[in-house]
Amino acid sequence: MVVDYDWCIGCRYCQAACPYDGRRFNWRTPHVPVDEINLNQHYLGNRLRRKGVMEKCTFCIQRVRQGRLPACVDACPTGARVFGNLLDPNSEIRWILEHKKVFRLKEDLGTEPKFWYYMD
Amino acid sequence: MRVLVAFFRDALDNVTAGSLRYHVWMGFLTFMMVLGAYAYTVQLREGLAVTGMYDYVSWGLYISNFTFLVGVAAAALMLVLPTYIFRDTDFVRAVLFGEGMAVAALVMCLAFVIVDMGGPARLWHMVPILGIFNWPRSMLAWDVIVLNGYLVINLTVPFYILYNHYQGRRPNPRVYLPGVFVSLVWAVAIHLVTAFLYAGLPARPFWNSSLLGPRFLASAFAAGPALMIIILTVIRRTTPYTIADSTLHKLGLVVTGAAQVNLVMLISELFKEFYWPTEHSRSAIYLFFGLDGHRALVPWMWLSLSLVTLATVVLTVPPLRQRTPVLLTASALLFVGIWIEKGMGLIVPGFVPEPWGRMFVEYAPTWVEWTVTLGIWALGAWVFTILAKVAVGVEVRYQRLCKGDAAADPSPAKPHLISPASPT
Ligand code: SF4
């Protein structure tokens, strides 16, 4: 799920509705030092936000669409994070879901999050 | 068409002329609105960061007032129903003001929603056809429909009646009664839909309750008519328009009934939260007793509880309720008590503790929020004063037309003579 930063009116209804504390609002114009701005931006992903709009994790849509992994998965030194295509029966993520002990947060709410925690 | 122009010209003449007290009052309201507008420009420039809201309490004073005022708007039902449906002659002289109060409350509601938006300039994104109106899936889209629809009804029905009285004609019930019927259903709908906005969020157990909607209605039908009692008292003291004591006391009866039901529901809510507190009761604990040393809302909530209980008890005793000063005081106490409870006492604890149970800084409105809020209340009072003044002007004139020679005696003994609802 992604937010269209040009379309959001900033009502924050989604923030009230989110049981996972997954949303962040731009209460003021976000500041990024000029020399740190990534010019390679994606409309729904890593672009500069404006003030008064909602944002959330996009699983790095700008990287994933190019077949790369989200930045946090790449950066994780222990390889604790696994990202993959749930629809592909041969993917690593499907293997983990089938062979490891997994759980999701707040299953009782019926939100079916696509985010599992796993352990051995 | 000419009559229409004349109507508006006369209305304009009417609202621009008045006693010194009237001008001071309107000047004061305008001043407050300008102050509010200034604070709003600060918020537009800097962003919502100038409010006390943040990611863990993302709605505050604005949405609190919005929620409360939806109730005030819905309360017009309690005047419309007896007037047009039960043809109660005591309510006839008050109903136009009830509808005016609904219009003013709705204008405030819309203003509170707009100042709460992060991108008010992008609001057209939810206008059907121009943008995407996510109906019927989004509860907010439902709320937009019911609020605006209710505004239209409450503008057109009284306008039709006043416009006919202006021309010395008796309004045709066949024209306005359908509007009245729709408005009855609609009044319940606006408050129920607004309650569903919150009750439909399982993420916030404090709101996720089936009693929320009915409780909204009960408290609204107490607070709205309570405000009406106060307003009618002011109108009959400051204008030639006569309102009988019996009208005030019948309204008092409405307030009493609603306040009693409200109290019963409150007790049942308290029982559910505190008899066996679960993880989901933490918001209520925060609200009434404080949580982890955070207790900003506690004094307010106990104040509200005492005001509501005291007022309800006093109103329940007929000899007390029938004394006008007591009725007025109890109405004022009840109104303030419900404002605290159905405003900040409802919205803020919904966010506390946050979804993982953590506690952060407590929300406190900033000067920008208070100033904008006062400005919007002034806007509401301004709108109401104008509507009421036009209504009084037209009605007093119509009263004279109807009574002919008896005009010198504007006794309310036969209120049905000027009744917009009088049969045939
Ligand atoms: S704040 Fe959330 S619910 Fe509101 S318009 Fe933006 S994305 Fe949609």
Per-residue model confidence (pLDDT) at position B405: 44
**Distance, CA of B137 to CA of B134 (rounded, Å):** 6
- Nearest-Cα distance to chain B for A4, in Å, is 12
Per-residue model confidence (pLDDT) at position B402: 85
pLDDT band, very low/low/confident/very high, at B407 (cuts 50, 70, 90) = very low
Least confident of A100-114, B14-28, B397-411: B397-411
Burial B288-304 (b: 16+ CB within 10 A, else e): bebbeeeeebeebbeeb
Mean pLDDT over B239-252 rounds to 91
Beta strands A23-25; A54-56: pairing state: antiparallel
Distance (Å) of CA A55 to CA A4, A26, B304, B394: 9, 8, 37, 53
CA–centroid distance for A120 within its chain: 25
Q: What is the pLDDT of residues B319-332, one digit of tens each?
A: 999 999 999 999 99
Mean pLDDT over B96-107 rounds to 96
Omega within 30 of 0 (cis) for the link into B318 = no
B132, B122 contact by CB (below 8 A): no
**Distance, CA of A71 to CA of A82 (rounded, Å):** 12
- Nearest-Cα distance to chain B for A20, in Å, is 6
**Distance, CA of B339 to CA of B423 (rounded, Å):** 38
Residue with CA at minimum distance from ligand 1 atom 7: A8
Per-residue model confidence (pLDDT) at position A75: 96
Give the predicted TM-score (pTM) of the model.
0.93
The two counts, helices (H) then strands (E), for chain B are: 15, 0
3-state secondary structure of A24: strand
Mutate to test the pocket of ligand 1, among A1, A2, A3, A56 (most ligand atoms within 8 A of CB): A3
**Residue recorded with tokens 């449906």:** B85
**Distance, CA of B249 to CA of B269 (rounded, Å):** 30
Per-residue model confidence (pLDDT) at position B408: 46
Res B89 pLDDT > 80:
yes
Mean pLDDT over B299-318 rounds to 97
Per-residue model confidence (pLDDT) at position B232: 95
Phi, psi of B121 (to 5 degrees): -70, -15
Mutate to test the pocket of ligand 1, among A1, A2, A14, A57 (most ligand atoms within 8 A of CB): A14
Res B414 pLDDT > 70:
no
- Sequence-distant (6+) residues with CB within 8 A of B152 are none
Q: pLDDT averaged over chain B?
A: 92
The verdict on a CB contact (< 8 Å) between A11 and B355 is no
Res A27 pLDDT > 50:
yes
The verdict on a CB contact (< 8 Å) between B119 and A54 is no
- Domains and their CATH numbers in chain B: 19-408 (1.20.1630.10)
Q: Which of A9, A16, A28 sits opposite B201 (nearest CB)?
A: A16
Mutate to test the pocket of ligand 1, among A6, A12, A49 (most ligand atoms within 8 A of CB): A12
Give ∠ CA B6-B9-B10 in degrees, rounded to 5. 85
Q: What is the pLDDT of residues B262-303, one digit of tens each?
A: 999 999 999 999 999 999 999 999 999 999 999 999 999 999
**Distance, CA of A22 to CA of B160 (rounded, Å):** 50
pLDDT band, very low/low/confident/very high, at B90 (cuts 50, 70, 90) = confident
CB contact B120 to A (< 8 Å): yes
Mean pLDDT over A26-53 rounds to 94
Residue with CA at minimum distance from ligand 1 atom 4: A11
CB contact B126 to A (< 8 Å): yes
Res B417 pLDDT > 70:
no
Residues written for chain B = 424
**Distance, CA of B113 to CA of B64 (rounded, Å):** 10
At B195, list the tokens: 């309650």
Q: Rounded to the nearest whole angstrom, what is the distance from the C-alpha of residue A25 to the centroid of ligand 1? A: 10
Q: Where are the domains of chain A?
A: 1-77, 84-120
**Distance, CA of B295 to CA of B355 (rounded, Å):** 19
Q: Please list the residues that pair with A54 across neighbouring strands.
A: A25
**Distance, CA of A80 to CA of A87 (rounded, Å):** 21
Residues of A with CB under 8 A from a CB of B: 6-13, 15-21, 23-29, 50-54, 109
Q: Rounded to the nearest whole angstrom, what is the distance from the C-alpha of residue B17 to the centroid of ligand 1? A: 45
B55, A15 contact by CB (below 8 A): yes
The verdict on a CB contact (< 8 Å) between A51 and B350 is no
Radius of gyration for the alpha carbons in chain B, expressed in angstroms and rounded: 22
- Nearest-Cα distance to chain A for B180, in Å, is 32
Give ∠ CA B70-B147-B304 in degrees, rounded to 5. 10
The verdict on a CB contact (< 8 Å) between A24 and B55 is yes
For B213, other C-beta atoms within 10 Å of its C-beta total 18
Q: Which of B48, B354, B356 sits opposite A27 (nearest CB)?
A: B48
Q: Left if phi > 0, otherwise alpha if psi is -120 to 50, otherwise beta: which for A60?
A: left
Interface list for B 286-315 with A (CB within 8 A): none
Higher pLDDT, B40 or B129: B40
Q: Rounded to the nearest whole angstrom, what is the distance from the C-alpha of residue B340 to the centroid of ligand 1? A: 27
Res B415 pLDDT > 70:
no
Q: Rounded to the nearest whole angstrom, what is the distance from the C-alpha of residue B74 to the centroid of ligand 1? A: 27
**Distance, CA of B345 to CA of B217 (rounded, Å):** 16
Per-residue model confidence (pLDDT) at position B26: 96
Higher pLDDT, B364 or B420: B364
The verdict on a CB contact (< 8 Å) between A19 and B202 is yes
Q: pLDDT averaged over chain A?
A: 95
Q: What share of chain A is helix, strand, coil (3-state, %, to 5)?
A: 25, 10, 65
Res B82 pLDDT > 70:
yes
Mean pLDDT over A29-47 rounds to 93
Phi, psi of B172 (to 5 degrees): -85, 115
Per-residue model confidence (pLDDT) at position B413: 39
Per-residue model confidence (pLDDT) at position B1: 83
Q: Rounded to the nearest whole angstrom, what is the distance from the C-alpha of residue B72 to the centroid of ligand 1? A: 27
Measured between beta carbons, the chain A residues lying within 8 angstroms of B119 are 8-10, 50, 52-53
CB contact B127 to A (< 8 Å): no
Per-residue model confidence (pLDDT) at position B421: 42
> Dmax over Cα atoms in chain B, in whole Å?
74
Residues with CB under 6 A from ligand 1: A 3, 8-14, 54
Q: Which of B270, B293, B266 is nearest to B352 (CA)?
A: B293
Residue with CA at minimum distance from ligand 1 atom 6: A8
Q: What is the pLDDT of residues B27-75, one digit of tens each?
A: 999 999 999 999 999 999 999 999 999 999 999 999 999 999 999 999 9
- Sequence-distant (6+) residues with CB within 8 A of B160 are B171, B175, B176, B179
Which secondary-structure segment (H or E) carries A93? helix A92-99
Q: Which of B274, B241, B260 is nearest to B96 (CA)?
A: B241
**Distance, CA of B371 to CA of B32 (rounded, Å):** 8
The verdict on a CB contact (< 8 Å) between A52 and B118 is yes
